[in-house]
Amino acid sequence: MLRVANNRNLISVLLLALIVRLVGIAARPIWYDEAFSILFAQKGLAAMLYGTLTPTGKGTADIHPLGYYFILGNWMKAFGDSMVAVRLLSILAGVATVFVAYLLARDLFDTRIANIAVVTLALAPFQVHYSQEIRMYSFLALWLLIAAYAYRRATTNHSWGWWIVFSVSAALAQYTHNLAAFFLVSLALWPLLRKDWKNLSAVTLAGLGALLIYLPWLVHLPSQFAQVSDAYWVERPGIASLFTLLLVFVTNLPLPNGWLYFALFLSLAVTAIAMFQTFSRQNRNPDAIWLLYLSFVPPMLLLLVSQWIPVYIERALLPSGAIFCIWLAWAFFGTSLPSLLRTALLGLLIIGAGVGLYQHVTYRGFPYAPFQELDVFLRERSQPGDKIIHASKATRLPMAYYDPTLPQAYIADPPGSNTDTLAVATQQALGLIAQPDIVSATRDAERVWFIVLQRHIDAYIQLGYKDHPYLSQLDESFVLQTNEAWGDLRVYLFVRPPQ
C-alpha cells in the first residue's frame, strides 16, 4: 500500500513538473540561440560537422559538441519544427531530470525527502526556464544527474554495472556541452578528498571509459577551446557572480522591479541556514555534505578557470542547481530545524518561486522580440526590389526560422570582436552568408528596411557614437522615411533620394 502511495506521489510530481513546463510554451518568441539550434540541426550531421570543425585560423568554427543538435535534428524529422514540438524535447528532458533527482534523493535519504526535493525541483524557475529553451542545457542536466546517481549507486553497491552507466552518461554529457567537465571533475575528486582509495580507483577506470567513448570528439577539444579564447562573448566573472548564482538557484534572473532585494535576502538566508544545518554536530551527514559539494564546487571551478578563459555561464550550472534543490530539501526537512522556521522558509521559497515563474512566463525583454509579427508586417509593407537588412545575426536567424522564404540579409560581426561568433563555415552550413558591410548589403537598393536591436544602438551611444554606425552610413545615401519600435527592435525604412 505504501509503495502504491509513493508511486502516486511521484507520478503527481512528474505531472506537476510537466504542466509547469508546458505553461507558456508557445508564448515566448524564438530568440537567436534557439533559432540557431533549429536551423543548424535541420542541416544534418555532415553539414553540422563541417560547420563546427572546419578550421578558422583561431580554432574550430563553432564551440559546442553536436550531441544535442543530433538529437534535435532527429526529433524534428519525427515531430516537425514547430515551436511547440521543438520545445517539447527540452521539456521531456527536464521532466526526466526531476525523475532522476527523485531516485538520487531517495537513495541518499528516504522517500519523504525525495518527494519534497522533486517538488522543489519541479517548481524551481531556473530549471523550468531551461526546460523550455531550445538548447542543450536540459539534456546537460539530465545526463549529469544520471552520472551522479550512477556514481552514488556504484560507490555504495560496488557494482561495475553502475560504473558503466556512469561512463556512458558522463560521455553523453560531454557530447552535449564541453562545460560538463567541471561537474564530472568535481565528482571524480570526491573520493580523493575523502581518501577513499577503492572508489578512487574505480572512478578513475570509469572516467577512462567515458574518455574512450568521448575520444572521437575529444581530439577536437583543443581547437574548440582556441575558438573560445579568441572569440567568445562571455565577460570575466567577478565576486558578484557568487551572489547571482544563489539568485539563479532560488528565484532565477531577471526579476520584476522591486523584487531583487527580497530574492537576495531569501537566497542568502536559505543557503546560510542550510549550511548551518549541514555542519551542525547533531545533523552532520556525509551525504548532505556531498550534495553541498556538488552544488558549489563545480561553479567555483568554473569561476576560477574563467579568470583565464572566460567561460562562466550560469545555465551550464543547471545540474548543480538541481543538486541544490535536493540539498535544501534535506536541510529543511531532514534535520532538527525548528518547525516554525521551517514553515517560514518554505513560505518564502514558495513566494520566491512564484515570482520567478511569473517573470519567466511574462518576460518579453531582450533577447526576445516579436519576430513573427514583424515578418507579417514586412510581408505586407515591403515592395518588389526592397532590401531587408539586419544589423547582425541576432535578428536575422530568428526571422529565418519564422519565414525562410522572405529575402533578407545581415551584416557580418566585426572581425575579432567578442561578438564574432558565427564563422564563415557555420554560415555556409546554415546557408545564411553574411554581407561584409552595410554599403555592400544596400548597393543598388531604392528602399532599405533596416532592423537593429535597440540595445545595440544604446551600446554604441555609450561608447561615444552619435548613433549606430550603420544608421549613420545609411543617412549618407538614403533618406529616413519611417522609424518604428517593435519591442526591443527598431525598424527603419530608408528611401534613396532622386538623383
Instruction: Tell how strand 447-453 and strand 409-410 pair up.
Output: unpaired
- What lies within 8 Å, CB to CB, of 155 at 6+ separation is 191, 196, 199, 202, 203
Same domain, 279 and 424: no
Same domain, 225 and 322: yes
Residues 130/90, Cβ–Cβ less than 8 Å: yes
Same domain, 348 and 422: no
Same domain, 261 and 193: yes
Last residue of a domain, one of 303, 332, 362: 362
Mean pLDDT on 265-270:
96
Same domain, 379 and 348: no
Same domain, 354 and 481: no
Whether residue 60 is predicted with pLDDT greater than 70 in this model: the reply is no
Same domain, 324 and 385: no
What is d(CA 232, CA 54) in angstroms, rounded to the nearest whole number? 17
Q: How far is CA 120 from the centre of its chain?
A: 20
Same domain, 143 and 186: yes
Domain annotation covers residue 54 = no
Domain annotation covers residue 125 = yes
Same domain, 243 and 101: yes
Domain annotation covers residue 406 = yes
Please report the pLDDT score of residue 170 as a whole number: 98
What is d(CA 411, CA 79) in angstroms, rounded to the nearest whole number? 33
Domain annotation covers residue 47 = no
Same domain, 380 and 443: yes
Q: What is the DSSP string of 311-376?
A: ---GGGGHHHHHHHHHHHHHHHHSS---HHHHHHHHHHHHHHHHHHHHHHHH---TT---HHHHHH
Mean pLDDT on 454-471:
93
**pLDDT tens digits for range 419-449:** 778 889 999 999 999 999 999 999 989 999 9
Does an H or E element contain 4, and which? helix 2-22
What does each C-alpha distance from 150 to 107, 177, 297, 331, 466 come to in angstroms? 11, 19, 19, 23, 58
Domain annotation covers residue 41 = no
Category of 18 on φ-ψ map: left (φ > 0), alpha (ψ -120 to 50) or beta: alpha
Confidence band (pLDDT; 50, 70, 90) for 142? very high
For residue 125, give the nearest of 217, 242, 23, 212 by alpha carbon: 23
Last residue of a domain, one of 329, 362, 395: 362
Domain annotation covers residue 53 = no
Portion of the chain with pLDDT greater than 70, in percent:
97
Identify the domain containing residue 471 by its residue range.
Answer: 371-495
Please report the pLDDT score of residue 55 as a whole number: 85
Domain annotation covers residue 489 = yes
**pLDDT tens digits for range 156-185:** 988 899 999 999 999 999 999 999 999 999
Residues 429/403, Cβ–Cβ less than 8 Å: no
Mean pLDDT on 292-317:
95
Whether residue 315 is predicted with pLDDT greater than 80 in this model: the reply is yes
What is d(CA 393, CA 451) in angstroms, rounded to the nearest whole number? 11
Last residue of a domain, one of 362, 396, 421: 362
Count structural domains, the chain. Answer: 2
Same domain, 148 and 172: yes
Buried b (16+ CB within 10 A) or exposed e, 428-443: ebbebebbeebeebbe
Please report the pLDDT score of residue 2 as a whole number: 44
Same domain, 252 and 125: yes
Whether residue 331 is predicted with pLDDT greater than 60 in this model: the reply is yes
Domain annotation covers residue 261 = yes
Better pLDDT: 421 or 417: 421
Whether residue 382 is predicted with pLDDT greater than 50 in this model: the reply is yes
